[in-house]
Structures are given as structure tokens and as C-alpha cells.
Structure 1
Amino acid sequence: MVTSDVVKETLNVAGLSTNVYTQANLRDKRTSEPVVVLFFLHGRTESADHIDPIARAAFSWAAEKGASSREALRDFIVVTFDQRNHGKRMVDQRGNLGWSKNADQHNERQAVDMYSTSIGALKDVSFLIDVLQSYVFPHDERTIGEWVLAGFSLGGHATWLALRHEPRIRIGIPICGCADIFALLERGADRLGVPRTAPYFPESLRALVRAYNPTAAPPGAFVGKRILVLSGADDTVAPWSASRAFVEALDVGERGRKEIMVLPGKHGCTDEMRDEMFRFFWEEALVTRQENRKCAL
């Protein structure tokens, strides 16, 4: 694989520790062309450190692809951060546990915690879209012209939420995520004999789900979105069957794109999934086609 010098800078963005990966020569380029930001969100019980290799690999992949391409390419940045109650933002480890018959491992609030954390990631992404350009380019050297979001597992759940609620996210790549986290949680509760009532599923949570769940979106909510769905064929944590009906029926319209890939693997971001993510990112955000320029927000 072609190597690419990558610089990682950790910024204090109003209290949110944010990792920004760039090509070493990005700031030396004499151009005002907008750059692309790829957010990548880690999975449950992980941290931004876990996905550092993926963030760096994006540049090597693009360098190798670019070496054999005649197409003009946009510069890009990869951004990662610890999700709420994860990594350096950890407050209580129990909040990341699930329901269990073992009292020491049981988290009564699993449904509340998981759904809230997913919404928190959506809010963090929206916040960074609002302010990140001022931190990365304080002298107005460049602008950010496109925001792309990908995420694994918990990050994949949040990617679906952002595709639904954040209009500035046009391109999304959920990996082993589920468009209906709540249904996934209810199935898990049934398997363990956890009742679908308070305090496990309080009515206030159900009201939140009705407001946020992608499956509750009005017709046309995803029109124009460019989505790559990556799932593991043997994933039992977030099985493709839990999302299939919704995703296959999802209307992205004539200007949208929906690609579904169920690849070999369990609940993990395999090398094949990683490379398919990079490929879709390349096609939708980095190649400066006239169509992409018109669609960019």
C-alpha cells in the first residue's frame, strides 16, 4: 500500500477533545478549494484510540488510489472523538454494560443509556460541524465543503440518527449499525426475560424514540442522501435482519444513492468493510465530479 504522511492533532474544541488527522502537507498547499471532513465514530465500549489505525489508513488508501487515477481529488480530513461515557470521557463503566443475570454485570438502564449515547453522538457531530472550521483553519486558510459520517456499531447507530436529523450530513456509512436501535434493544430484552416496561423502557424513552428513530421519519426524509450500509453476514449483535426491511424500502430519490453490502464476518469492522467504506467515500466525496459539487452542502 502506498504510504502517506499523516499528522494527528488533538484539539480542545470547547471541552470536547477532538482528533484531527490531515496529510502532512495540507496546510502548505496554496489553494482555497474546500476540504472534506470524514467523521468516524467508534463502537460501544471502545474509544477513539481503537479506530486510530482506520483513520490513518484512509490516507494510505486514498494515496494508492490517487496514484492510478486521473480524476481531480479533494483534500480531506478525518475526525474522531471519544463518544460519551467512553475513553477519556468515561464517567461510569456500568453505563456501557447490558442486561445480565449476573448482578455485578447488570445495567438496568441499558436501553436508556444506549439510546441516549447514540443521540449524544449525533449532537456532538452537529456541534463539531458548527464550530470545527474555526479551530482547524483559524486564519481562514480553507473552508470545509462536505461533511461525511461513518461509524461502527454504536457509531453506526449514531450514523443513522445523523442521516435522519442532520441535514449537513449528506453521505453516511453505517457499519454493523441498526436503523432501529430500539427494536434491537426490545429483542435483546425478550431474550433475557427483561420486561418491556419501566424502569427498563420508561414511557419517556419511548417518546424520545418516536421523535428520533429513523424508522419514524416522515416520507422523503432520506431523499438525496448517499448511503452505504455495511453488515456482517454472521453478526448476532446487530444482525442485518434487524435493519433489512427498513433499509430495502428506504427511498433516497433520484439524486440519492443506496448501496447495501452484507459481507463475511461477525460484529466487527473487517478490513473488507473498511476498504468498502473508503471506496464509497472516494466515489461520493473525494472525486470532484460536477454532480458532487452541486450536491455538496
Structure 2
Amino acid sequence: MSVDKEDHVVGGLKISVYKPSITTASVAVLFLLHGRHGSAAQVDGIARALAEKTSSSTHNRRTILIVTLEHRNHGSRLIDARANNSWTETEDNSRHALDMYAIQTGTARDVSFLIDFLPSYLFPHDESKIDSWGVVGISLGGHSTWIILSQEPRVQVGIPIIGCPDYIELIKHRAKASNIPFTAPYIPSSLLKLIEVSDPASRNHGSLDGSNPFLGKKILILSGEKDTLVPWAASKKFVEGLEVGPDGEKKVILQKGVGHKCTDEMVEQTATFIQAKL
């Protein structure tokens, strides 16, 4: 089935929408978030693959649209390239911990903004209704996916790929590997206080009552066994303790022999999960 790509500007935010030629009355939207140093253009192939794979087996039940956008300070939104760097790149960034958290949090807010407005932009005559929302993110986009799952109740399906739900654990690992002290100015106490109240790991994710924002959500977690940039060790405790309740689903795939990479197998697993859950 052919896939059309449409570009839109929603309140000043550029997005691309990948959709099959047939649109049903019931529509699901899946946001696809790229990685650090990346852009929406760099995930064009993945977006098309997901649109093609999911449209081939929807049986006109629900059309799935893939929406790409760029993280803040990336692609067409780039303002300061150095702010996207880590502590150890050629042009090192002393504010790496702060900048990375600000970007992934900002992108999560952008997704909520788009959920508010996309129905009106995409279907101005109310010809279809968006009744399901999901997010898949790669690396930095995976971090944002976890934040979205913890903060946005309208998103019920999430697929973090080589991402981490526990920012403190991740940045502790990265600071140690980079020989950076886990203190100010690299890690300001004000940043830690923010993370401690806003990060997914700060939520009551192990509870089976209403205080757990993950209850009922369908989550596929894809990581590489040999990932040293976003190591599984930083996510393991959170993921093992995560409760999604009887109406939710938690599936974990740790791909053997794979480092910090979104593989073809991960894309296949993503498409299969989307078909079943979105």
C-alpha cells in the first residue's frame, strides 16, 4: 500500500504525517521521535516502514498515521549545535546533563501540544476521529517517550527504543564514564530537585492504585544488550518494578550483541506491537 507524506505547521511547529491512501473514520496517531544529533529527515525511512507495515494489516479497522517532529534544538529547530553535545565530544558541553534533560522534557510537552491541536489541523471537516495515541522514540526520543508515558494520559501505547526512564541513573553512569564529578556546575542541585519530582522514576510506578500513571498502558521496551551509551543497567531496576496492571502490557526485549542502535529487528517488533495495541 502506498504511503503519502504531508507536511504541516501546527502553531509554528513543523511536522510530517505519513499515512496510507485509505483513511477510516477511526484514526490512531503514532509519534516517532528521533535521537540526539538527529532530525525528522533521518527517521523518514523508519516512518515509511512503520506506515507501510501497519497499514497492510489494519483491515480498515483503524488507520494509523505516523507523525514525525524534531526535538527542540535539532534539525530545522537548531539554535546552538554545541548544546546537543556531551561532556566528551570535540566541542564539549559542560551543561550536557541540563541540556539533554531540558530537550527531552520539552519534546514531551510538544507532543501533548500536538495532541491538543492535531485533530483540527488534520481533519478540519471532522471527517475522521483520532481516538488512539502512541509514541515511539529512539535514544533521546526514547527518553522523551518514557516522560510522555508518565505524564500524558491520552498516550496509551509507548515504545522506548534504546531509551531510559531513570535520568539520574543514566546521567550518573555517563558522568562516571566521562570522568565528570556528579556535582555542580555539571549537575546543579536545582536540576536534581527538578528530576526528583518530574522524571518517570519519581512516579509511583510500582503501585497498583491510581497514583501510578502507567496503569493500563501498553509498553514495549527495546534495548541493546551491549549498549554502553544508554546501558540496560540504568533502566533495569525501574523496568523490573514497573506495574501496568491487568489492563496494561509490559514487554521487554533485550537484543543480544547489539549496542546503542535501532536495528531492523527493533523496527519489526515495533510494527507488530503497534498493529496489535494501537
- Is the structural similarity TM-score above 0.5? yes
Structure 1 residue aligned with 2:119? 133
Let me know the Cα RMSD of the aligned residues: 1.4
For residues 262-285 of structure 1, what are the alpha-carbon distances to aligned partners after superposition, in whole Å with 9 as ceiling and x for unaligned? 113211110000010010101101
**Does the 8 A contact of 1:111 with 1:182 survive in 2?**
no
Q: Identify which of 261, 268, 272 aligns with 1:268.
A: 261
Alignment partner of 1:183 is 2:169: yes
Q: What's the offset of the Cα at 1:192?
A: 2.3
Q: What amino acid is aligned across from residue 114 of structure 1 in structure 2?
A: M
Q: Identify which of 62, 67, 72 aligns with 1:74.
A: 62
Q: Which has the larger radius of gyration?
A: 1
Quick one: distance in 2 between partners of 1:234 and 1:91?
Answer: 33
For residues 220-259 of structure 1, what are the alpha-carbon distances to aligned partners after superposition, in whole Å with 9 as ceiling and x for unaligned? 2311111000001111111112111110111111111000
Q: Identify which of 141, 148, 163 aligns with 2:134.
A: 148
Quick one: distance in 1 between partners of 2:114 and 2:51?
Answer: 21
**Does the 8 A contact of 1:171 with 1:284 survive in 2?**
yes
Alignment partner of 1:229 is 2:221: yes
**Does the 8 A contact of 1:122 with 1:161 survive in 2?**
yes
Structure 2 residue aligned with 1:10? 7
Q: What's the offset of the Cα at 1:45?
A: 0.4
Q: What's the offset of the Cα at 1:190?
A: 1.8
Alignment partner of 1:22 is 2:47: no
1:105 match: secondary structure: coil
Alignment partner of 1:93 is 2:93: no
Q: What's the offset of the Cα at 1:196?
A: 1.5
Q: What's the offset of the Cα at 1:157?
A: 0.3
- Structure 2 counterparts to residues 155-234 of structure 1, below 5 A: 155-218=141-204, 219=207, 220-234=212-226
Q: Which runs of 5+ in 1 are unaligned?
A: 286-297
Quick one: distance in 2 between partners of 1:253 and 1:271?
Answer: 30
Quick one: distance in 1 between partners of 2:74 and 2:224?
Answer: 24
Q: What's the offset of the Cα at 1:62?
A: 2.5
**Does the 8 A contact of 2:26 with 2:61 survive in 1?**
no
Percent of pairs identical after alignment?
A: 44
TM-score for the superposition, normalised by structure 1: 0.88
Alignment partner of 1:118 is 2:104: yes
Quick one: distance in 2 between partners of 1:222 and 1:148?
Answer: 13
- The alignment covers a number of residue pairs equal to 271
Q: What's the offset of the Cα at 1:64?
A: 4.2
Q: What's the offset of the Cα at 1:57?
A: 0.7
**Does the 8 A contact of 2:87 with 2:96 survive in 1?**
yes
Alignment partner of 1:284 is 2:272: no
For residues 155-212 of structure 1, what are the alpha-carbon distances to aligned partners after superposition, in whole Å with 9 as ceiling and x for unaligned? 0000000110111111100000001122211221122221212111112111110121
Q: What amino acid is aligned across from residue 43 of structure 1 in structure 2?
A: G
Q: Identify which of 53, 60, 68 aligns with 2:52.
A: 60
Quick one: distance in 2 between partners of 1:16 and 1:182?
Answer: 30
Q: 1:144 to 1:44 in 2, by over 3 A?
A: same
